[in-house]
Structure 1
Amino acid sequence: MQTELNKVIAALREFYAHEGFLFEKDIGERAITHRFAVHLERQFSGWAVDCNYDRLGERTLHLPHGTIISTDDHLGKSIYPDVVVHQREIPNNLLSVEIRKASNHTSLEHDQHKLRALTDPDVWFAYWIGVLLVLDRQHVTMSEVYASGSLDQPLSLWFAAQLAESGLAATR
């Protein structure tokens, strides 16, 4: 997992080097997510990188019945991860990333629950890794790593340390 997370860090490094305009002009999260995906795609040769991808092969990406995760569609059934790294046809789901702007003061709970569900090995569309990133104008202000349906605290601490070492984490 560290190899994949190092690729996320490399994408963040490129994102911050080239996309400062988005924060200067207070552009919305969807545009930020898209531009991050462009940089992430360069790190994952042989994989598809998509935003708001709601499919698994021919099937719509649905959460298990009774889940507490809210959805974005009018029927309340499908979900839209911000950025995914996957193989569309197989399907093979590697990485799901949820991105928030630091200026977004709504609760992180929705994104955290979504990443737990998306990485749950008992769910048919499980991603191997989930990453939550909270971004401000120059740094990652908060990050979490999810695996096997829960927050992976040791991996989250490792990832945060790598971000700090790369100069990408806000110092406190």
Structure 2
Amino acid sequence: MNTLVRDACALVMERDVPLLATTERVVVARLLVYLDRAVRQHEQLHDYDVDFEYERAGVNVKGFAGRRAQDADGIQASFRRKIVPDLLIHKRTVNDATSNLLAIEVKTDPDAGLGPDQTKLTLMTDPDAWAAVYPVGVRGGTRLALGRGPRPRDIDTAALPHVVHPYAHGVLIDFRTVGQFPALQWFHRRV
């Protein structure tokens, strides 16, 4: 995986440096092209798909399983928060232990933090991880804060549902430093 990702990043740095000054989606699109070509030519990966912002697990919508804070009567409601990584290498219509290979998040904006993407990749690769869900802004947005150990009942939390298999790997590709090869932060499935 490391070689595939590094080679795709090298192609971006070789051919597409002007795109780094545009939007993250444009850079992600170029990575998709380079990774898709490499995956299709790879002897062991040719049956995997490379997808942009894909949100399915088999035929079901991928989402973190959310649990609302317990109310005064001891009732705890549930909710779903969609999982939409920048890129995935996976078997598109399969949902088994080998189908979810690599989740990729990309950052190009030097003013953007890495925290939300790090949390998302941790949740996608660690079946025991959970995150506190906090409301942000007036449009109903949320922020995730990673947690460990037993999930508390007094705050809203989200985790990878048991019906979605964790990804074997995750990588955060940090293109925020202009003119330098991107930093790669890896996440690996915890068992």
Same fold (TM over 0.5): yes
Contact 2:9-2:182 within 8 A present in 1 as well: no
Paired AA for residue 55 in structure 2: D
For residues 88 and 14 of structure 1, the distance between their equivalents in structure 2, rounded to whole angstroms, comes to 25
> Deviating runs (4+, > 3 A) in structure 1?
none
C-alpha separation in 2, matches of 1:32 and 1:89? 26
Unaligned runs of 5+ in 2: 41-45, 69-78, 129-159
Provide, for residues 73-121 of structure 1, a one-character-per-residue CA deviation record: whole Å limited to 9, x for no partner: xx962121001001112231100110001x4323211000000011124
The aligned counterpart of 1:104 is: 110
* Aligned pairs, number: 137
Counterpart amino acid of residue 22 in structure 2 = I
Distance 1:32 1:66 in 2: 34
Matched position secondary structure for 2:11: helix
Which of 7, 11, 14 is the equivalent residue of 1:14? 11
Q: Find the aligned partners of 1:94 and 1:83 in 2 and give their Cα distance.
A: 11
State the SS of the aligned residue for 2:81: coil
- Tell whether the 8 Å contact from 1:117 to 1:149 is kept in structure 2 after alignment: no
* Deviation of 1:139 (Å): 2.5
**Mapping 1:1-172, distance limit 5 Å:** 4-23=1-20, 26-45=21-40, 46=46, 47-66=48-67, 77-91=81-95, 92-101=99-108, 103-121=109-127, 123=160, 124-135=164-175, 136-148=177-189
Letter in 2 for 1:42: R
Unmatched tracts of structure 1, length 5 or more: 68-74, 151-172
Give the SS at the match of 1:33.
helix
CA distance in 2, matches of 1:106, 1:19: 21
CA RMSD of aligned residues (A): 2.2
% identical equivalent positions: 26
State the shift of 1:143 in Å: 2.2
- Higher-Rg member (1/2): 2
Q: Is the Cα–Cα contact under 8 Å of residues 28 and 87 in structure 2 kept in the other structure? A: yes
Give the drift of 1:43: 1.5
CA contact (8 A) 2:63 2:80 kept: no
User: Structure 1's 141 and 11: CA in aligned 2 closer, same or farther, altered over 3 A?
Assistant: closer
Superposition deviation, residue 149 in structure 1: 5.2
**The structure with more helix, counted as a fraction of residues:** 1
Out of 6-15 and 141-150, give the one that drifted further.
141-150
